Amino acid sequence: MNVLWIFAHPEPRSLGGALRDEGLRTLRAQGANVRESDLYAMKWKAVVDADDFGSAAPSDRLIVGSTSKHAFETGELSDDIRAEHEKLDWADTVIVQFPLWWYGMPAILKGWFDRVFVKGFTYGVRRPDGKTSRYGEGALAGKRAMVLLTAGAPEATVGPRGVNGEIDDLLFPLQHGTLWYAGMSVLPPLTICGADRVSPEQYDDAVATLHGRLRTLSTRDPIPFRSQNGGDYDEHLVLRAELAPGRSGNGVHLL
Amino acid sequence: MNVLWIFAHPEPRSLGGALRDEGLRTLRAQGANVRESDLYAMKWKAVVDADDFGSAAPSDRLIVGSTSKHAFETGELSDDIRAEHEKLDWADTVIVQFPLWWYGMPAILKGWFDRVFVKGFTYGVRRPDGKTSRYGEGALAGKRAMVLLTAGAPEATVGPRGVNGEIDDLLFPLQHGTLWYAGMSVLPPLTICGADRVSPEQYDDAVATLHGRLRTLSTRDPIPFRSQNGGDYDEHLVLRAELAPGRSGNGVHLL
């Protein structure tokens, strides 16, 4: 197993940092090959701009999608982006670890996806039949991903009727709209709540849970998102009326 | 009316840039006072780190929440953050405009919230009765916010059963989890789909819609999110069983 561990916490001496260290140790002990993208340690550039695209950047109006595709195809993307592509090509499994900030990713991690998931690589690629490879198909199909999250919020508040919204809904743009969009199979997330307030016993529980999840990385069933081109969506990419009839919300996109 | 317009697009010569220009002109013609945070033009620093907190930053482990609160209270936050606080204090209305990237905000805008919405200012403040001011209460209560979005996706694909998920669900972490969390009343978003492919007629329609939305900024009903401390949530901040009985999903948090 080749695991790429993406870590987006500013403080290695945090609960998140301890879980990252524990996770890397555990995977290596299991015999996995492990590489890391520790975004803060790498001083990862978070913001998409013309500098990403080398001489492929136009001198006039910048259209990010088409410019990034051109730069990808001609090898003119900046070195830091190409290094992440090489890691993604190598990996069969990707762990995406971050503290939940404003119910989403820290900017440095959002910027990793904004800059690395360029057109021509993870989106904007057509199949021979003219359909776009997306949601279950694409360059990253066959790879697995899992989100590992630390959150200050108590568990009940990110549960089904908790005031913050349910964790699967909060993660939908990442798990469905980004990872599954690019073709990856997405394992259920592991969320450790009450960060900065965990007791030694709670920490031991979190580590035990993490061990269990890392042992089953290659066997656990992924979230059963519907594939775009499998027949469940019509020609406008709207879910067919006979599936989850009368319902809406993120849940209709699950088999 | 004092409007702060936050703009997070790398290219002023884009559909988004044209709508921003049109919006600012329209508001000024209506007699509004307008200020802008053009994040790319400002070269806004996207990433939270110890440099944000001046001498309030600890020499050992950085705990972002408590350190940011200390720096806020002692006036040691960096100049760029304090400048945004002054704008927010001044504004009664905030427009948050961005292109939808990976079903969320560009990193530079996520980093605006990560860095500006610090503990002690927009969260982590207790009321006299010990409850936390959150979701409808807080420093920004009484102010209005509206999201203005350009998206490449066709409209049906971000509709109720579209493959990308419904726009209100995709925006839930921002509209509910950030803006409403900090107390702001959130107007329904304005989403312009098919960006980079709009015809002159479609552009005229988008401008007309924008004009209508800007004329009604102070009168339109906000999204009816439930307030945290209004009695709808129990002591664990879970929605009471008799409200939206048996249901879950983001929609249960609407009145």
pLDDT digits (tens, 9 = 90+) for B211-246: 999 999 999 999 999 999 999 999 999 999 999 999
Question: What are the residue boundaries of the structural domains of chain A, listed by start?
Answer: 2-223, 224-255
Rounded to an integer, what distance in angstroms lies between the CA atom of residue A181 and that of residue A173?
10
User: The whole model's pTM is what?
Assistant: 0.98
Question: Is the pLDDT confidence value at B194 over 90?
Answer: no
Residue A62: pLDDT above 90?
A: yes
Average the pLDDT over A174-183 and give the result: 98
Chain A nearest CA to B165, separation (Å): 6
Task: Look at residue B120 and tell me whether its pLDDT is greater than 80.
Answer: yes
Confidence of residue A192 (pLDDT cuts 50, 70, 90): very high
Residue B205 distance to chain A (closest CA, Å): 22
Contacts of B196 in chain A (CB under 8 A): 63, 65
- The per-residue pLDDT for B228 is 97
CA dihedral defined by B122, B123, B127, B132, rounded to 10 degrees? 150
Distance between CA atoms of residues A22 and A38, nearest Å: 15
> Residues of B with CB below 8 A from A49's CB?
10, 40
- B163 — pLDDT class (breaks 50, 70, 90): very high
Architecture of domain A2-223: 3-Layer(aba) Sandwich (3.40)
Q: Would you list the DSSP string of A8-26?
A: --S-TTSHHHHHHHHHHHH
- pLDDT score of A59 more than 90: no
* Cβ-defined contact of B165 to A173 (cutoff 8 Å): yes
**Residue A196 in this model has a pLDDT that exceeds 80:** no
Average of per-residue pLDDT across A154-178: 97
Structure tokens at B113: 């919230």
Pairing relation of β-strands B144-151 and B93-99? parallel
What's the pLDDT score for residue A195?
A: 87
Residue B145 and residue B180: Cα distance in Å, rounded? 9
Query: Given pLDDT bands bounded at 50, 70 and 90, which one contains residue B88?
Result: very high
Whether B51 and B182 have beta carbons less than 8 Å apart is answered as: no
Strand locations in chain A (E): 2-7, 33-38, 93-99, 144-151, 185-193
Residue identified by tokens 């002990």 is A29
Q: Where are the alpha helices (DSSP H) in A184-236?
A: 200-215
- Rounded mean pLDDT of B68-77? 96
Query: Who among B62, B102, B238 is closest to A177 (CB)?
Result: B102
For the residues A99-115, what does the mean pLDDT come to? 98
Average pLDDT rounded to a whole number, residues B24-53:
98
Tell me the C-alpha to C-alpha distance, in Å, between residue A152 and each of A69, B83, B170, B216: 38, 27, 22, 37
State the pLDDT at residue B196: 77
Calpha distance B181→B178 (Å, rounded): 5
Nearest of B87, B79, B54, B47 to residue B68 by alpha carbon: B54
Tokens of B7: 């703009």
